[in-house]
Structure formats: C-alpha cells, structure tokens
Amino acid sequence: TRLVGIGAIAVVLGGISTLLALALLKLIALFTNIFFYGRISTELVSPAGTHLGPFIVAIPVIGGLIIGVMARFGSERIRGHGIPEAIEAILLGGSRIQPRLALLKPVSAAISIGSGGPFGAEGPIIMTGGAVGSLIAQFMHLTSAERKTLLVAGAAAGMSATFATPVAAVLLAVELLLFEWKPRSLIPVALASATAGLLRTYVLGVGPLFPTAAHPAFVGPVGLIACLAAGLLAGGLSALLTMGVYTAEDAFLRLPFHWMWWPAIGGIAVGIGGLIFPSALGVGYDVIATLLRGDATTGIILGVLLVKSTIWAIALGSGTSGGVLAPLLMIGGALGGLEALVFPDLGPGFWPAIGMAAMLGGTMRAPLTAIVFTLELTHDIDLLLPLLCATVVAHGFTVLTMRRSILTEKIDP
C-alpha cells in the first residue's frame, strides 16, 4: 500500500516536472532573445545568429555577474551543473533540498545559458524536478527512503521531458542517484519518467530529438574494432576534459576575489570563445543535429573540439549554473566527426553518434544510460552493438585512469 501511494505521487510529479521543463526551455529562449537580440520572445534561437560583433564578449560577463549575485544572496546551491548537487543531497543531506532552490536553480540556469553559457538545460531541470519531489516528500513527512525516491523521480521526469528519453532517465537514476535497484524506488521513478515522456508529446512534441538515417545492421569486425578505438579516444578526451574542469576550478580558487565574481570572470573566456566560434555559445542542439546528419564542416568540428570544450571547462570551473549532457554530446559528436574522416564509412552521422555515447559513458561513468540515451535520441536500434563496444571501453578507460568522475570529485565526504 505504501508503494502504491508513492507511485501515485510520482505520477503527479511527472506532470509537474514536464511543466517545469517547458518553463525552463521557454526561459532560456526568453533570455537568449533579450541578451543577444534585444527583444521579448520565447522563440528558440541560437546566439550564433546575433549581429553584436565584438560586443558579444560582454554578454556572458553580464550573465555571470547576475548569477554570482543570485548565488551569494539567494542560494549558493545554484552553482554547478545539477547532478552532483542531487547526489550530495541524497548522500549527505537526507534527500532534503531548500524550497528556494526550486525557483532559483532554473532561473539562474536560464540566465546562464541565455547569456551564452555553453551548457545544457538537463542538469538544472534534473535538480529542479528533484527539488520539487523532495519538497513534496518533506511536506507529507515521508521517510528518508521515500524522500530519496521522490527526489530521484522528479529528477528522472525532468530529464525525460527535456530529451524525450524516458528509459535513459530511469537508467540515469539507477546508475547515479538511487544507489539501489529495488521496487520501492524503481517503480515510482519509472512511473514519473513515463508520465513525463507521455505529457512531453503534448507540450514539446514527440521524439526523437535528433532523428538520424538508418545505419547498417551489421558493421563487421573491422567496424567493431574501429568502435573500440573510438571508445579509447573518447575515454582519453573524457579524462582530458575532466582534468580541464579540475584545473579551472583550482585556478579560480587561487583568485584573490570572492567566488561571487568567478562566473563573470569565466564569462570573459566564454565571450571570447563566442567571438571566435559563435556556435559554441548556448545549448547547441542545432550543432548536435548537424553532426548527426553528417553535414558538419571541418571548421565546426574543430570549433567544438577546441573552443566549445575550452570555454565549457572554464565556465564550469567558475561555478556558474548549467548542465553537462548537451555539451558532452556536442564534444563527443565532434570527436566522432573527426574519426569519420579516417574510420570505415558506415553512413552519415554514425561516428558522431558513437562519439556522443562514448563521451557520456566515459565522463559520467554511466555507460548504460549513455547507450540507451543515444538510442532514444536517434531511434536507430542498429547502433546498439557499436554503442556497447565504444561506450564500455570509454568507461573502462576513465575508471582505470581516474580516481573519481566529474560528478563526484567535488562532493565532500
């Protein structure tokens, strides 16, 4: 009877998280239009189309200043990309999240991304959905285990609504947040994610988010060996990116300024990167789609690998607000685009898709989530075996070469 009640709450929470995901995406669009185009609109646009010229450098700095003030005088918990904060709340905070975080986190993320921050929307909506789930549990005086279940249910529903990936959202919950595979938690989380997946079709449209042309069902031994190589390369790049974020964090810690100013300082690097390669700014879903179609030019591929990855690491190290899934997809896709120049030709977008999953699996230490996430984003089931080979190798590489992942390194025991 207890499970039935928690499951019913989770269904409601799935609907709430869907509306929160819609609100966050609209907020991001609103701030993007305000910052880069000087107009009031919720139409989804890319910062790359702005005509600000050199003045584009100032926009991320302004956004960083606003976020720094919000973090200092609102809640310091808005800093970061969402998933580590959710893990910390579960492990160390009894699955309790401050009520104001449910409001401040999405607004700060929308300002960060809308002002050009090279992040995704998924981390903040995961944290926001989790905050709402935790608040409901606290209001109803539920047990610690039930608070955790509803926190994770809200987080999974937020991811499901954002990307139209309900199964991957459940796997993310299992691999990173639940720390168990029991009916008491799995069933409510799955119900919340499924509810969000259903309702998303009415408010955001049906999936897949990045449809791709069908790829060969049989890639052969040479193709699979190349997938293993792609996994090694993605694992190496994952380790480099993670170390880049750590280096940036350590560099900001040595600055003789209060951390409130760090996002603005990081915004200088973001602005310069945007001046060099405008497509590095913002969420970048359009760039991901271009990579998966196989239409990306060498300039786009190098711009993502060199500029996007650099400003992402610096901005994340500065403690601003934003998610990591979309940037990792873009960087992994660019790596795959580079590999497509030398690896066997298995169709447009094949290697970018492999690179995306391998980058997620290596960096986040969640290989099953990365595999299913890519399948749900593309709806190409023929990618399953190649994805398995590349993603597990990337995961193994980072496990053997790095003590902890980017999601857990800064969590204080």
User: Are the C-beta atoms of 356 and 340 separated by less than 8 Å?
Assistant: no
Tell me the percentage of the chain whose pLDDT exceeds 70.
93
Q: Which residues of 371-394 are buried (b: 16+ CB within 10 A; e: fewer)?
A: bbbbbbbbebebbeebbbbbbbbb
At 84 the pLDDT is 61
At 50 the pLDDT is 84
Higher pLDDT pick, 314 / 177: 314
At residue 49, does pLDDT exceed 80? yes
Give the pLDDT band (50/70/90) at residue 88: low
Give the pLDDT band (50/70/90) at residue 404: confident
Q: What gap in Å lies between CA 314 and CA 246, rounded to an integer? A: 9
Give the pLDDT band (50/70/90) at residue 126: confident
Q: What gap in Å lies between CA 341 and CA 354, rounded to an integer? A: 14
At 408 the pLDDT is 59
At 413 the pLDDT is 44
* Amino acid code (one letter) for 280: A
Place of tokens 């390369």: 233
At 132 the pLDDT is 85
Strand partners, 321: 80
* Integer angstrom CA distances of residue 373 from 20, 63, 164: 21, 30, 9
At 76 the pLDDT is 76
Interval 360-364 mean pLDDT: 91
Give the pLDDT band (50/70/90) at residue 190: very high
Q: What gap in Å lies between CA 256 and CA 244, rounded to an integer? A: 21
pLDDT tens-digit readout, 15-43: 999 998 898 889 999 999 999 999 999 88
At residue 304, does pLDDT exceed 90? yes
What residues have CB less than 8 Å from 112, skipping those under 6 apart?
63, 64, 67, 119, 263, 320, 321, 322
What is the average pLDDT score of the chain?
A: 87
